[in-house]
C-alpha cells in the first residue's frame, strides 16, 4: 500500500502518519519526490484501511498495490479450479451447457424441455422456482412445488439441477433438491445471504454478477462465500447496465479473460438475460465460447410465446440444437471438449 | 399499452394478436399507418406482459403508456405523503435532519455525537449496527449490542433512531428498538426482504436507491413494501454509479423533482455516501435543500480520523453546526421550515 | 408517432394538438383509453418534432414507432452492403483483417510490420499519422510525413491503407493517399466533419462508435455521411465507457447482431482499443468473429515495449499469426471466408 | 509515478526497468515488499508514458501520483481565476447569468427574449447560430445570419453574446461578433478545434463537458486550449450520460466542488440541457448556486411551444424572473453577489 502525501507536507506530519502505520506492526519506506512525498507500507496491509488514512489532511490519497481478495486470487492458486456439480465438471477444458426454462411452469413443460435439451447436448437443467421480479404484481414463481418438478425432471433425465435461492430460509431444501445453487444478480451483495450459503450450503454456488458490479466487487462476493466455508464457486456474467437501452443489458465478454487472470474460478455466460432478445442469444453464445468461457446458461422453452416469464429471450429446442452443433466446432478450436 | 407491428405484417397476423389480447378481456384499437400498423390496448393492462407479446415474430415492440406502479403513484394520490417517525414529520414543508456516525462503535461515542448533533439542530440519529461491507474481512458492525447503544442515545437525547436492517431475522428487534428502518442500496432489490418489511415492520421504511437503479425500479421497490402492507416509505438518494471514478458515486439531485412528480413519497438525500469525501458533503447538502428535498442524512463523527468505517466522508460536529445554519437560510427560501 | 396525453386531458385540448398535427398534412387517429387518451399520427412524421409536442402541458410524452434513419436502415435495403476498399471487399461473407501499428513511427517500422502482417494473412494496413491524444503534451503523430510512409508500405505490400482523419483540411490529401478513411470515436459527433467527408471524401469511411454513443446515435452519424453523399460507410465498435475501470473500455459485441439487424452496413471490431491490454485482444478477436463481425482491426507492433503510443494493447506479429489461424477456423464455422 | 512489479519478479528484471527509467534522466527508489516490489520515480515524469512501461511482462501496473495537467491545476495557481467576458466577470464571488433561446430563429424573437432576460437580471445572452444536431434532417441553425441577429440584440441590450463554434473555419467571425465562444459537449475532444481556439480565438472559451467525460479528461481539454495560448477558459457542466433514461442526462453537481478543488477555473452549470425538461431547470438551478457554481446558462424562450429546437427545456421569461429572485437569496447565503 502506498500513501501519497499532499505537496509541501511537513516532515513532522509525515512522521505522525508513519508512526500510526508502524504501530500496527507494519514497516514503512519513505520516498521524497520533487513535488510529492510517498510512503510505501510493507507487511499485512489488511490491517490498514486506506479510506481511514485519507481522512488525514496531509494525505492526498492512498493506493493499494495488491488485490483485497485471497482465497479467490489466482496469485495464490495458479491452477484452474474445476468444480464438480453432481458429476458434471465445470472449469479447465470442460464446458457446462445449462439449459431450461426461465420459470418452472408445470411438470409436463419442464420434463419435455429437459428431454429435448439433453438430446441436444445440454448437461445441466436450469429452472426458476423462486423468481426475483421487479414488480410485486408479476408472477413470483411456483416455490417449493417448482423445486419438486425439477427433481422429477432430474429423475427422468439425469441432468443436475440449477435453481436460484432468494432467502436463507430455504437453504436446507436446496441442499436436498438442487445441485448448483444460483445467487442472482440482485442479491450479489446481499451479504447476509452470501455468508449463509458459505456456511450452510453443501452444494456449489453459481454467483451471478450484479448489474453494475465491478470485477473486484464480484470477486469479493465470491470471497465472502469462500471465506464462510464453501470453496465451490462458479461465476456467471449476465450483462451489465450501461447507457444503451435498445438491449436489456450489455454482455461483457472481456469478463472471461479478466476473471481467468485474476481468479482460479470457472466463469460461465448467460447470453439470454444479457440482451433480452432471443436473436442475440445465438451469436453471443458462440462468442462466449470463442472467448474461452467455461459454460453457457441458456433459456430454452418449447413455447416461448406462452411462457410465464422472459419468453422473448428463450430459444426453441430446435434452435438450441443447431447452436450446440456450432458451439462444438468452436469449442474444439479453443480447447474445450463437449 | 401499444403494440407496434413489424412493417408489412399481414392483416391475419395482426388479428391473431388482437384475439389473444381480447381473450384477456381487453379492448383493442387498430391504427394502420403508412409504414407500420399499431394496436392500442384499453383496459386493465396489468393482465398483459409486454415482453410476452414481443415474442411474436410479427410484433416489433410493445410500449407502455402508463406507469407500472399504483400505490406510490402521484396520479392516484396527488397530495404529498407526510410520514411520522416517532413524532418527527418527514415530507411536505418539514425537513428531516438525520445525523450520526456511520457505525456504532461505543456508547460514549454515540451519546457524545448525538448530543452535539441535537445541539446543532438534528432531529434524528443515525448509526449502523449491522454494516454491509464489500469485504468479508472488514468490520461488520456491532449487531444487537449496537442497537442497544442507539436506544441508550435516544433515551439521552430524545432523537428517534435510524438504522439499517440487513436480514428479515431481525425485524422484531428493529420494531422494538428502531424508529426508521433503513433498507440499504445493495438490498434495494432483495425482494424477499422488501416483502417481509412490508408485512411485518411496524415502523416506517427508509429505502435507499440501488447503485444503478432507475427511478422506476426504485419506485417499484417502494411499491413492493407498500403492496405488502406498509405504506410508510421514505426514499433516499445516495449516489449512483457512473464512469467517473474520482468520486465514489455521482449524486443525482434531479431525483428530487422527478420523484416528487412521479410519486407522493418524501425523498431525502445522503450526500456523505455519494461522494465519499467530507468536503463534498457541505456543498451537496445545500444543493439538495435548494432543490427541494425533504431531508438530509449526514455522517457526523467526533473523531473521523479514528472512525472504524467511512471516516473520510464524516463531518466534525462543528462543521455540521455551521452547515445547518446555511441550510436554514436556504430552507426558508424554498419553503421548508426547520 | 404516438402522442400520449396526460390523464384527464379535456377533449378540446386534445383537439388543439390534433389540429396542430393535421396542419402539417398528417392524419391522426384518437384512441380513448380508461386512463389515458392517445393519438396515433400517420404520414411523414419527420415533419413533427416529438420534443416540441411535449412542451404542451396536456401532452405526457410522445413515442416514435419507427427509426429516424432512412439510408442506413435495413428495412429499406434488406441485403448486406458490401463495401469495396481498393479491391478488398468488406461485408457479406468477407472478413476484413486490418493490422498495423497504432502510430506511424518510421518507414522501417511500418514496412517491417506491414510485411509480417501480410504474411500472417492481413488484408489491410492501419497506421495513425494524425493522433487524437487526451493530453496536449503527448505525441500527436507524424502528420503528412506519416501518410507518405503508409503510401510507401502500400507500394511494398499492396495492402490498402486505413488512417484517421481529424480535420476536414486534410480531405484532399486523404483522398489521394488513403484507401479507408477513419473517423475516430471522439469525432463521431463532430457533425461538421461528418458532412465534409460525406460531401468530399471519395473513399469509404470507417466510422468508430463514440465512447458513450447509443446504437441509434451511431447509425445517425453514418446517416449524416450518407445523406451528404458518401454511401460507403463501415461501422467499427471499439468499446464503450462503463463503470468498470480495470479495462479501458467494455467491448460491446452485441453491437454486431444489433447493427446487422438495424442496418445493412458492415461492422468491424477493434479489440485492441477496447480493453487496452494485449492479452484481451486474442480472446475478444475470436469472440467477435464467432458473433458474426465483418472484420477485425488489430494493433500489431514488432516492438511494443518501445512503441510511441498504445504499446500495451499491441500484439507481436507471431501472436497475430497464431491468432489468425484460429480465426480462420471460427470463420469457417460461422460462414466467413478468409 | 510508481511502478508495481508482478509478484516474484527477479531482481535483474527490476533492474532492467530501472535502467530504462534512469536513462530518461529520472531518479528511482525501490521498495521491496512482502509480496510485491515497487519502484518510485522521481523527477519530470511527463517524460515517461505509464502505458508503455506496462507492456513489460514483469510490470503489473503503473500508478501516477500527480495530475497530468499543469496550467489548469490549482496546485500551481491557488487563487480563483476570474475571467472577463466583455466587462462581465465570471469566477470568484461573481455569478454569470446567461439566458436566451436554444436557437436563434428571428431578430424579433431574440431581441424580445434578450430584453426580458435582461430585465429579469441576466447579464449575458446565449443563442445558437450553428447547431449540433443528432439528425442530419433536423434544423441546423441559421449560421452567420444568426450571429448577426445576436449582434443586433447586443446592440439593443448591451448583453455580451455566447454562441457555439463548431468549426475552426469560423474563428475569425466569432472573434468579431461573439464575446464568449462555446465549445459544445460533442466537440470536447475535437482536439484540432481545441488547438485552433487556443491559438486563434481572442475571446474566452466556454468548454462544455463531454457526455461521458471524466473530470480529468475535461480538464485536459481545457489544458489543450490553455497550452495552445488562450488562458481564458470557463468550464460548463451540462449533464452526463448514465443508465437513467427518464431524464435526458444526469446533472453532476459534485462537479462544482471537484473542479474548484482541482483547478482554478470558473465552472458554470447548464440545467436546461441536462434534464431536458423545463420543470427540472428551476430546482437544479437553485441547487447549482447553493453548491457554489460561478454561473448558470438557462434556456429562455418566449414561445417554447413553437421553438425550433429544445422547446421542452425552455423557461418562459416570467418563470425565469421568479427563479432569479430565489437565486439571489441563495447566492447571498453562499457568498455570491448578483
**Which residues of chain B have a CB within 8 Å of the CB of D250?**
240, 242, 250, 252, 254
Per-residue pLDDT band for B274 (boundaries 50, 70, 90) equals: very high
Residues of chain A scoring pLDDT < 50:
none
| Inter-chain residue contact B35 with C241, CB threshold 8 Å | no
pLDDT tens digit sequence for A210-256: 999 999 999 999 999 999 999 999 999 999 999 999 999 999 999 99
Quick: pLDDT tens for D19-28.
988 988 888 9
Model pLDDT, residue C274? 93
**What are C181's strand-pairing partners?**
C163, C205
Nearest Cα residue in chain B from A305: B55
pLDDT of residue C116: 96
Statement to judge: residues A57 and A81 lie in one domain:
no
Question: Residue C150 pLDDT > 80, yes or no?
Answer: yes
Q: Does C32 touch chain B (CB under 8 A)?
A: yes
> To the nearest whole percent, how much of chain D has pLDDT over 70?
100
Distance, in Å, from the CA atom of B245 to the CA atom of B241, rounded to the nearest integer, reads 9
Minimum distance, in Å, between the CA of residue B291 and any CA atom of chain D: 4
Average pLDDT over chain D reads 93
To 10 degrees, what angle do helices C215-227 and C255-262 make? 50
User: Is D312 within 8 Å of chain C by CB?
Assistant: yes
Range of the domain at A22: 2-63
Residue B30 has pLDDT above 80, yes or no: yes
CB contact, 8 Å: D65 with chain A?
Answer: yes
Statement to judge: residues D84 and D47 lie in one domain: no
Instruction: Please count the CA atoms within 13 angstroms of the CA of C200 that sit on its side-chain side.
Output: 17
**Residue C47 phi/psi, 5° resolution?**
-75, -15
User: What distance in Å separates the CA atoms of residue A292 and residue C212, rounded to the nearest whole number?
Assistant: 27
Touching subunits of B (3+ CB pairs, under 8 Å) are: A, C, D
pLDDT of C302 higher than 90? no
Point out the residue among A136, A212, A314 whose CB comes nearest to the CB of B241: A212
C252 in contact with A at a CB cutoff of 8 Å?
A: yes
Instruction: Retrieve residue B98's grid coordinates.
Output: 438525520
| Helix, strand, coil percentages, rounded to 5, for chain D | 40, 20, 40
What would the DSSP string read from start to end of D99-147? EE-SB---HHHHHHHHHHHHHHT--EEE-BSS---SSTTS----THHHH
Considering only A284-293, B98-107, C19-28, D104-113, which range has the smallest mean pLDDT? C19-28
- Is the CB of B334 inside 8 Å of chain D's CB atoms? yes
For chains A and D, what is the number of CB pairs under 8 angstroms? 59
Of C273, C271, C292, which Cα lies nearest the Cα of C282? C271
C7, C35 in Cβ contact below 8 A? yes
Spatial CB neighbours of D176, under 8 Å, sequence gap ≥ 6 = none
**Weakest-pLDDT range from A89-98, A266-275, C20-29, C84-93:** C20-29
Mean pLDDT value across residues B89-106: 96
B256 CB within 8 Å of a chain D CB: yes
Out of B29, B31, B242, closest to residue C243 by CB: B242
pLDDT for the residue D94: 97
Could you tell me which residues are beta bridge partners of residue C63? C2
Would you call A38 and D63 a contact, using CB atoms and an 8 Å cutoff?
no
Same domain, A49 and A128: no
User: In this predicted model, what pLDDT tens digit does every residue of C269-301 receive, in sequence order?
Assistant: 999 999 989 999 999 999 999 999 999 999 999
To the nearest whole Å, the CA of D190 is away from the closest chain C CA by 6
Cα–Cα distance for residue pair C30/B83, rounded to 1 Å: 41
Q: Which residues of B touch C60 (CB under 8 A)?
A: 65
Q: Do B133 and A191 touch (CB under 8 A)?
A: yes
Residue ranges of A 177-206 with Cβ closer than 8 A to chain D: none
Residue A61 confidence (pLDDT):
86
Q: Are residues A168 and A246 in the same domain?
A: yes
How many structural domains does chain C have? Answer: 2
Q: How far is D258 from D253, CA to CA, in rounded Å?
A: 9
Q: Cell numbers for A224, please give them.
A: 465472502
Using the Cβ of D279 and the Cβ atoms of chain B, whether some distance falls under 8 Å is answered with yes
Question: Nearest CA of chain A to the CA of B288: how many Å?
Answer: 24
Each residue's pLDDT tens digit, D115-161: 999 999 999 999 999 999 999 988 899 999 999 999 999 999 999 99
Q: Which three cell numbers stand for residue C133?
A: 491524444
Contact A287 C253 (CB under 8 A): yes
- Rounded to a whole number of angstroms, the CA Rg of chain B reads 23
Same domain flag for A234 and A291: yes
Query: A-B interface: how many C-beta pairs under 8 angstroms?
Result: 100
Whether B105 is in a domain gets the answer yes
Do residues C252 and C282 make contact, with C-beta atoms less than 8 angstroms apart?
no
For residue B272, CA distances in Å to A289, B301, C123, D136 come to 43, 12, 55, 44
Residue for grid cell 494493447 = C313
* Cα dihedral B41, B44, B45, B47 sign: negative
Return d(Cα B31, Cα C92) in angstroms, integer: 37
What phi, psi does C16 have (nearest 5°)? -60, -45
**Chain D touched by A65 (CB under 8 Å):** yes
* Residues of chain B found within 8 Å of residue A132, distances taken between Cβ atoms: 189, 191
CB pair distance less than 8 Å for C250 and A247: no
The reply to whether C212 touches chain A by the CB within 8 Å rule is yes
Element (H, E) at C207: strand C205-208
Question: Has residue C68 been placed in a domain?
Answer: no
Contact D82, D94 (CB under 8 A): yes
Same domain membership, residue A230 and residue A126? yes
Q: Over the stretch D34-93, which tens digit does the pLDDT of each residue have? A: 777 889 888 877 777 787 788 888 898 888 878 889 999 998 899 999 999 999 999 999
What cell does C64 get? 416514435
Per-residue pLDDT tens digits for C245-258: 999 999 999 999 99
pLDDT in tens, B115-147: 999 999 999 999 999 999 999 988 899 999 999
**Strands annotated E in chain B:** 2-5, 27-32, 37-42, 59-63, 83-85, 88-90, 96-100, 124-126, 161-164, 180-183, 205-208, 233-237, 267-269, 295-299
Specify if C240 maps to a domain: yes
Asked if residue C318 lies in contact with residue C282, where contact means CB atoms within 8 angstroms, the answer is no
Closest CA to C188 of C154, C223, C159, C155: C223
Contact B333 D329 (CB under 8 A): yes
Closest CA of chain D from B275, distance in Å: 8
| Residue B246: per-residue pLDDT | 94
Which pLDDT value is given to residue A97? 98
Whether B288 and chain D come into contact, CB under 8 Å, resolves to yes
* Contact between residue D159 and residue D117 where contact means Cβ atoms under 8 Å apart: yes
- All partners of chain D with 3 or more CB pairs under 8 angstroms: A, B, C
Above 90 in pLDDT, residue C67?
no
Please state, in angstroms and rounded to a whole number, the distance separating the CA atoms of residues D210 and D191. Answer: 13
Question: Which one of D189, D210, D228 would you mutate to disrupt binding with C, by most C Cβ within 10 Å of its Cβ?
Answer: D189
Q: With CB atoms and an 8 Å threshold, state whether B283 touches D256.
A: yes
Type and span of the H or E element at D30: strand D27-32
Segment B211-229 mean pLDDT: 97
Determine the pLDDT at residue D12. 92
At B311, the pLDDT band (50, 70, 90 cuts) reads confident
Rounded distance, CA D186 to CA D297, Å?
A: 17
Pairing of strands A96-100, C205-208: unpaired
Which of C33, C60, C75 lies closest to B40 in CB terms?
Answer: C33
pLDDT at B102: 92
Q: Are strands D205-208 and D59-63 parallel, antiparallel or unpaired?
A: unpaired
C-alpha cell, D205 = 472559451
Mean pLDDT across chain C: 93
What distances in angstroms separate CA A118 from CA A324, A331, B83, D120, one per listed residue? Answer: 11, 18, 55, 74
Strand (E) or helix (H) holding A97: strand A96-100
CA nearest B127: which of B97, B86, B162, B159? B162
Please say if the pLDDT value at position D96 is more than 80. yes
- Judged against a pLDDT cut of 90, whether residue D300 lies above it is answered with yes
- My answer on whether D274 and D130 are in the same domain is yes
Could you tell me the CATH number of the domain that includes residue A29?
A: 3.30.70.1140
**What is the pLDDT confidence band of residue B43, given thresholds at 50, 70 and 90?**
confident
Cell of A257: 479473460
Residue B69 lies in a domain: no
> Do A50 and A165 sit in the same domain of this protein?
no
d(CA A288, CA A330): 10
Chain segment B136-193, per-residue pLDDT in tens: 988 899 999 999 999 999 999 999 999 999 999 999 999 999 999 999 999 999 999 9
Q: State the DSSP code for A240.
A: B
How many angstroms separate the CA atoms of D124 and D86, rounded? Answer: 10
ipTM: 0.93
Looking at residue B95, which CATH number applies to its domain? 3.20.20.70
Find chains touching chain A: ≥3 CB pairs under 8 Å: B, C, D
Q: What is the mean pLDDT of residues D270-291?
A: 96
- Exposure of A228 in the CB half-sphere (CA atoms within 13 A): 22
- Contacts for C199-203: CB closer than 8 Å, 24+ residues apart: C199/C228, C199/C229, C199/C230, C200/C168, C200/C171, C200/C172, C200/C175, C201/C171, C201/C174, C201/C175, C201/C230, C202/C175, C203/C85, C203/C174, C203/C175, C203/C178, C203/C179, C203/C232
Q: Which of B95-99, B277-281, D63-67 has the lowest mean pLDDT?
A: D63-67
The set of cell numbers assigned to B220 is 417499484
* D274 and B CB contact within 8 Å: yes
D57 touches chain C (CB under 8 A): no
SS3 state of residue C231: coil
Q: Which one-letter DSSP state was computed for residue C209? A: P
Q: How far apart are the CA of A111 and the nearest CA of chain C, in angstroms?
A: 31
Quick one: pLDDT at residue B6?
A: 87
Assess whether C53 and C84 both reside in one domain.
no
Count of residues for chain D? 338
- The reported pLDDT for the residue numbered A55 is 81
Which H or E element spans position C154?
Answer: helix C144-157
Chain C positions in Cβ-Cβ contact with residue B65 (cut-off 8 Å): 2, 4, 33, 36, 38, 60, 63
Q: Is B329 on the interface with D (CB under 8 A)?
A: yes
Q: Which chains touch C (3 or more CB pairs under 8 A)?
A: A, B, D
Question: Same domain for C227 and C90?
Answer: yes
Nearest to B33 among C32, C34, C40 (CB): C40
C-chain residues near D134 (CB < 8 A): 189, 217, 220
Q: Hunting for cell 418449447 — which residue is that?
A: A302
Q: Is residue B65's pLDDT more than 90?
A: no
Strands D233-237, D267-269: parallel, antiparallel or unpaired by DSSP? parallel
Chain D residues in contact with A65 (beta carbon < 8 A) = 2, 4, 33, 36, 38, 60, 63
Whose CA is closest to B24, among B3, B42, B6?
Answer: B42
Record: contact C214-A291, CB cut-off 8 A: no
Does residue C69 form part of some domain?
no
* pLDDT tens column, D203-218: 999 999 999 999 999 9
Cell of A329: 466446432
A68 is a domain residue: no
Contacts of A314 in chain B (CB under 8 A): 55
A·C CB contacts under 8 A: 115
Beta strand pairing status for A37-42 and A27-32?
Answer: antiparallel
The neighbouring-strand residues paired with D3 are D39, D62
- Domain shared by B28 and B147, yes or no: no
Q: Do the bridges between strand D27-32 and strand D37-42 make them parallel or antiparallel, or are there none, so unpaired?
A: antiparallel
The 3-state DSSP class for residue D283 equals: helix
Q: How far apart are the first and last CA of chain D?
A: 44
Test mutation, C69, C291, C293, chain A, max A CBs within 10 A: C291
A11 C-beta neighbours (distance < 10 Å), count: 10
Are residues A242 and A181 located together in one domain of the fold? yes
- Average confidence score pLDDT of chain A: 93
CB atoms inside a 10 Å sphere around CB C76: 12
Amino acid at each position: 500500500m502506498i500513501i501519497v502525501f499532499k505537496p509541501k507536507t511537513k516532515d513532522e506530519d509525515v512522521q505522525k502518519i508513519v508512526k500510526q502505520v508502524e504501530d500496527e506492526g507494519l514497516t514503512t519506506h519513505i520516498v521524497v519526490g520533487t513535488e510529492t512525498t510517498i510512503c510505501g507500507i510493507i507487511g499485512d496491509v489488511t490491517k490498514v484501511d486506506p479510506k481511514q488514512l485519507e481522512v488525514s489532511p496531509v494525505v492526498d490519497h492512498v493506493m493499494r498495490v495488491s488485490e483485497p481478495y485471497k482465497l479467490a486470487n489466482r496469485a495464490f492458486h495458479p491452477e484452474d479450479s474445476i468444480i464438480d456439480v453432481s458429476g458434471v465438471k465445470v472449469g479447465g477444458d470442460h464446458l457446462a451447457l445449462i439449459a431450461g426454462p426461465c420459470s418452472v411452469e408445470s411438470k409436463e413443460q419442464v420434463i419435455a424441455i429437459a428431454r429435448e435439451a439433453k438430446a441436444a447436448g445440454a448437461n445441466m437443467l436450469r429452472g426458476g422456482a423462486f423468481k426475483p421480479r421487479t414488480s410485486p404484481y408479476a408472477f413470483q414463481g411456483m416455490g417449493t412445488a417448482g423445486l419438486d418438478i425439477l427433481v422429477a425432471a432430474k429423475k427422468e433425465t439425469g441432468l443436475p439441477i440449477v435453481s436460484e435461492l432468494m432467502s436463507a430460509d430455504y437453504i436446507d431444501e436446496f441442499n436436498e433438491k438442487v445441485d448448483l445453487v444460483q445467487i442472482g444478480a440482485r442479491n450479489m451483495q446481499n451479504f447476509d445471504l452470501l455468508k449463509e450459503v458459505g456456511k450452510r450450503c453443501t452444494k456449489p454456488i453459481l454467483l451471478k454478477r450484479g448489474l453494475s458490479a465491478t470485477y473486484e466487487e464480484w470477486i469479493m462476493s465470491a470471497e465472502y462465500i469462500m471465506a464462510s466455508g464453501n470453496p465451490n464457486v462458479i461465476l456467471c456474467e449476465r450483462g451489465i447496465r450501461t447507457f444503451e437501452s435498445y438491449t436489456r443489458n450489455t454482455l461483457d465478454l472481456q469478463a472471461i479473460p479478466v476473471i481467468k487472470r485474476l481468479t482460479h474460478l470457472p466463469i460461465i455466460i448467460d447470453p439470454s438475460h444479457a440482451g433480452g432478445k432471443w436473436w442475440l442469444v445465438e451469436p453471443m453464445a458462440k462468442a462466449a465460447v470463442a472467448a474461452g468461457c467455461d459454460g453457457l446458461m441458456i433459456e430454452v422453452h418449447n413455447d416461448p410465446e406462452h411462457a410465464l416469464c422472459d419468453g422473448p429471450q428463450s430459444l426453441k429446442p430446435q434452435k438450441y440444437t443447431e447452436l450446440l452443433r456450432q458451439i462444438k466446432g468452436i469449442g474444439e478450436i479453443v480447447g474445450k471438449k463437449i
